[in-house]
Structure 1
Amino acid sequence: MTAPTVDVHAHLLLSEVDKLVEGMPGWRAARELDARRNGAEALAVSGAMVGGRLPLLTEVTRRLAAMDTAGVDVQLVSPSPSHYHYWADPEVAQAVWETANTATAKHCAHAPERLIGLGVVPLQHPELAVQALDHALSEGLAGVELSSHAPARELSDPAYEPFWELAAETGAVLFLHPFGCTLDERLDRWYLSNSVGQPAENAVALSHLIFSGVFDRHPGLKLVAAHGGGYLPTHAGRADHAWRVRPDARGCAREPSHYLRHLWFDSLVHDPRVLRELVRVAGADRVLLGSDFPFDMGTTDPLAALRAAGLPEADFHAVRGGNAAALLNLSTKE
């Protein structure tokens, strides 16, 4: 039996969401914060880049053609993180998640054997996260995408406990994908907001989840970390040392590195040596193919990037699609 090649990190732009929020109270301030965090030069480059790739982000036929070229059978499609809108009040937040979830499901329904969708949840309103996840699952989505934090809230916040509980009970896939880094203007040049900010945010968010005991209380969570989990997997030794020598770091039952083998990570680390190390510390059964389709910080040939790591054949095929097929309950081919 051969598993399909599955890309778990692919994005979708939703004009319906953009039209919904434009001009609302809080929208402009959020855009101004994003501009400060990224800098004018990065925004200009990103605007042109996204404009040139808009068909890939919105048109199913173009997406499928690009998948064929890359040798990808199935994509796990998540809305662009720009659609989180964690500034929104409860009423607007509900409109955002309902619109995003429904539009994503509609996009994927054009090719249901090849496209699997994820929705969004309002992390700024933990009391509504369960309702949003329920809605995503009712739309036929596999789970939801979430950022590394919400304003004034970390993922370790006890208010998220009902959300984690429902996600574990339902087997919903949670895709951790940061949007924006709280280092703000320190990263507003040379696109440090992404090259440094994204892996830093991944590491901080995962550390909050691990050290706070979320995975001890909810061992069935299916959480996939984008960008190979950022800095944490390859620097977990320092976290382990803190856990061993400092009583204030003992929020989790086991050494932090233990939990790496209970998470999933995409393969998008841009360095074959780092990918090999990720496979070593997390396990070959916990790494999934990821491309960040179709953005410029991704790869147009995720399989070539995976081959460059020189993994054993069985590990290569596990990362190529076997692990994702098991995670997403996909059928294999003869």
Structure 2
Amino acid sequence: MTTSPAVPTVDVHAHVLLPEVEALVADLPGHAEARALDARRNGPAALAVSGPMVRERIPRLTDVTVRLAAMDAQGVDVQLVSPSPSHYHYWTDEDTAGKLYRLANEATAAHCAAAPDRLRGLGLVPLQHPDLAVEALDHALTQGLLGVELSSHAPGRELSDPAYEPLWARAEETGALLFLHPFGCTLDERLDQWYLSNTVGQPTENAVALSHLIFSGVLDRHPALKVIAAHGGGYLPTHIGRSDHAWSARSDAGAGCAHLPSSYLKRLYFDSLVHDPHVLRELIRVAGADRVLLGSDFPFDMGTEDPVGALRAARLPEADFHAVRGGNAAALLSKE
């Protein structure tokens, strides 16, 4: 684990907006229904705030010069850039999904290529069409991207679905990064006020998705898989004791994975975006200082404008601080 103060500061949770992706799907059957579902899940008050918020941030999401200036202001040397999760469009048919992942991968790669020393990228895979997942990952890698971003589930499929085994195998074989970033929560209208769709929905989806990977044995079958969970892994790391108890006490809970659930946290990576220094310290305690990476959710309002300051507020030992600030990610992004 690199702990030197000289290592670069690396933010692994930063997004790019791809207008060409939205243009591709804008007039397709199913798009209106998907937008209506999103509106139902978020509620009108949230949409009224989110629209202007995103519009104000479009320069930082699309213009590399503006992005780099913002990074300089934050003290961030390198960003791992992933498409906005709004680009998943898991409702699209197979033909459109193939066009979409290629367009997203190429556009993200082009954005990062404008500043290759400071920007590294991730592509997309169409989880709703598992047969396309491996070719989408391979396409991302051929574009010079380091892996792909994926949501917590696709319609009718959890990440434990056997149909994704080829994707996990290929990601493990290539050393590709998998950035687990939910978009949308199936609790639907129960979360349509006070932005609960995000504040409760995102950490819930993170916890459910990671539990599927753990309890189904995916991480047993693919021990070298490089999964980075956004939002500090949601509720799971701070409530992992309940999972351990179920695994020990119940035959159904313990049937799918070989080891205590908490042990798998040390095989995963987590970003630091938990908005509470005490929670961050607990995440580091259960996962290890070598498994937590700086994350800001750049440039959205549910992120942090000062990721290094948020990390410093946790009052970590100096070596752990520098590891999370950039040492861990620098090693991961270089595939050493």
When the two structures are aligned, how many residues end up with a matched partner? 331
What amino acid maps onto 1:181 in structure 2? C
Equivalent residue number for residue 288 of structure 2? 283
| Residue of 126, 151, 154 corresponding to 2:155 | 151
Q: Does 1:236 align with 2:212?
A: no
| Residue of 243, 250, 256 corresponding to 1:246 | 250
Secondary structure of the residue aligned to 1:291 is: coil
Aligned residues: CA RMSD: 0.8
**2:214 and 2:47 mapped to 1: Cα distance?**
33
Any residues of structure 2 matched to 1:95-114 within 5 Å, and which?
Answer: 95-114=99-118
Tell me by how many angstroms 1:330 deviates.
7.4
**1:186 and 1:66 mapped to 2: Cα distance?**
36
Tell me by how many angstroms 1:329 deviates.
1.2
Any residues of structure 2 matched to 1:46-57 within 5 Å, and which?
Answer: 46-57=50-61
**2:187 and 2:118 mapped to 1: Cα distance?**
38
Equivalent residue number for residue 174 of structure 1? 178
**2:119 and 2:335 mapped to 1: Cα distance?**
11
Contact 2:11 2:80 in 1 (8 A): yes
Equivalent residue number for residue 194 of structure 1? 198
Equivalent residue number for residue 17 of structure 1? 21
> What residue ranges of structure 1 are gaps of 5+ in the alignment?
none
> What residue ranges of structure 2 are gaps of 5+ in the alignment?
none
Q: What CA deviation, in whole Å up to 9, does each residue of 1:114-170 have, x standing for no partner? A: 000000000001111001001000100000000000000000000000000000000
Equivalent residue number for residue 328 of structure 1? 333
Q: Does 1:215 align with 2:243?
A: no
Q: What CA deviation, in whole Å up to 9, does each residue of 1:84-114 have, x standing for no partner? A: 0000000000011000000000000000000
Equivalent residue number for residue 262 of structure 2? 257
Q: What CA deviation, in whole Å up to 9, does each residue of 1:195-233 have, x standing for no partner? A: 000000000000000000000000010000000000000
Tell me by how many angstroms 1:253 deviates.
0.3
**1:276 and 1:169 mapped to 2: Cα distance?**
32
**2:150 and 2:116 mapped to 1: Cα distance?**
23
| Residue of 32, 35, 40 corresponding to 2:39 | 35
Any residues of structure 2 matched to 1:58-69 within 5 Å, and which?
Answer: 58-69=62-73
TM-score by length of 1: 0.98
Secondary structure of the residue aligned to 1:9 is: strand
Aligned-pair identity in percent equals 76
| Residue of 139, 145, 148 corresponding to 2:143 | 139
Secondary structure of the residue aligned to 1:25 is: coil
Equivalent residue number for residue 304 of structure 2? 299
Q: What CA deviation, in whole Å up to 9, does each residue of 1:264-300 have, x standing for no partner? A: 0000000000000000000000000000000000001
**2:313 and 2:52 mapped to 1: Cα distance?**
30
Equivalent residue number for residue 79 of structure 1? 83
**1:13 and 1:328 mapped to 2: Cα distance?**
22
Tell me by how many angstroms 1:67 deviates.
0.3
Change (3 A) 1:330 1:125: closer
Extract structure 1 runs of 4+ deviating beyond 6 A. none
Tell me by how many angstroms 1:29 deviates.
0.7
| Residue of 309, 312, 334 corresponding to 2:314 | 309
What amino acid maps onto 1:313 in structure 2? E
**1:182 and 1:205 mapped to 2: Cα distance?**
12
What amino acid maps onto 1:191 in structure 2? Y
| Residue of 278, 284, 288 corresponding to 1:273 | 278
